[in-house]
């Protein structure tokens, strides 16, 4: 993957989503929409050079509109600015997700098998000068490639195939991306699962300093490294009151 030079390509290209807080009314980001409608202009699809993009659609599921993400030897995310996630009365983020299968050949610890049935990134406004010199250098290089501000650090919640729930590890590409396994194995395939995480606490545990402001999230999946396929659904993502 050509963008995996110094940082995870998905992490670098997420910068292209422009995840700065925007002036927009808070809402339930998916369920208040209609199945089949176009994505709101505030959403940004994250695609990667030389990688087939995922397919995104708003669909009906159990009486609610949700985001469906189809991945077939492809990759991509849909990014949402923090202003659309509802009033931020806490750092506790809640969402629902569902997958149709796990990826047998995936391994989140290996570069050549680093795919996920589902993943959700949370982006924070981390000052570049707060990072060690080596990390600052990597990010500056990535920004020179992307031409935009690359996020400096992010936790990523994943639906894994084999690691235990609660397992946490750095991305095999960068120590600026910390992965946390929230679902694993075939036991919950085809079932909606609700997740609740104190993302600020997870950030501090991973990076060792207090979390700055949240700028947005992105949701998606990827199968380009394992040449596999998976369909993922995301329900509303919002801050828990």
pLDDT in tens, 10-44: 443 344 334 333 334 445 799 999 999 999 999 98
Per-residue pLDDT band for 9 (boundaries 50, 70, 90) equals: very low
Helix (H) or strand (E) holding 11: helix 9-13
Closest CA relative to residue 123, chosen from 190, 46, 187: 46
44 Cβ neighbours under 8 A, 6+ residues apart = 16, 17, 18, 19, 78, 79
| The model's pTM | 0.84
Mind listing the pLDDT tens digit for each residue in 63-114?
999 999 999 999 999 999 999 988 888 999 999 999 999 999 999 999 999 9
- List strands edge to edge, sheet with 75-81: 44-46, 75-81, 214-222, 116-124, 154-160, 177-184, 168-170
CB neighbourhood size of 214 (10 A)? 22
For 141-180, write each residue's pLDDT tens digit: 665 654 344 556 889 999 999 999 999 999 998 788 899 9
Spatial contact of 143 and 231, defined as CB atoms under 8 Å apart: no
Measure the CA–CA gap between 79 and 122, rounded to whole angstroms.
10
Q: Which two tokens stand for residue 27?
A: 């809402």
Secondary structure of residue 72 in the 3-state scheme: strand
Q: Any idea what DSSP says for residue 135? A: H
Asked if pLDDT for residue 181 goes beyond 90, the answer is: yes
């Amino acid at each position: 993957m050509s963008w995996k030079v110094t940082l995870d390509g998905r992490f670098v290209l997420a910068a292209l989503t422009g995840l700065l807080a925007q002036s927009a009314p808070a809402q339930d980001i998916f369920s208040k929409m209609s199945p089949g409608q176009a994505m709101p202009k505030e959403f940004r699809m994250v695609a990667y050079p030389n990688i087939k993009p995922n397919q995104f659609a708003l669909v009906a599921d159990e009486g609610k509109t949700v985001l469906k993400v189809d991945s077939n030897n492809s990759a991509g995310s849909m990014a949402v600015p923090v202003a659309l996630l509802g009033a931020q009365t806490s750092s506790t983020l809640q969402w629902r997700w569902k997958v149709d299968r796990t990826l047998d050949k995936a391994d989140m610890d290996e570069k050549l098998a680093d795919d996920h049935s589902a993943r959700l990134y949370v982006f924070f406004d981390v000052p570049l000068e707060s990072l060690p010199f080596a990390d600052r250098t990597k990010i500056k290089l990535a920004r020179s490639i992307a031409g935009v501000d690359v996020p400096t650090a992010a936790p990523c919640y994943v639906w894994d195939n084999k690691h235990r729930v609660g397992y946490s590890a750095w991305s095999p590409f960068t120590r600026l991306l910390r992965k946390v396994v929230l679902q694993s194995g075939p036991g919950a395939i085809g079932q909606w699962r609700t997740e609740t995480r104190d993302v600020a606490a997870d950030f501090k545990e991973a990076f060792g300093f207090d979390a700055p402001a949240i700028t947005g999230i992105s949701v998606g999946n990827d199968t380009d490294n394992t040449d596999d396929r998976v369909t993922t659904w995301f329900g509303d993502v919002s801050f828990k009151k």
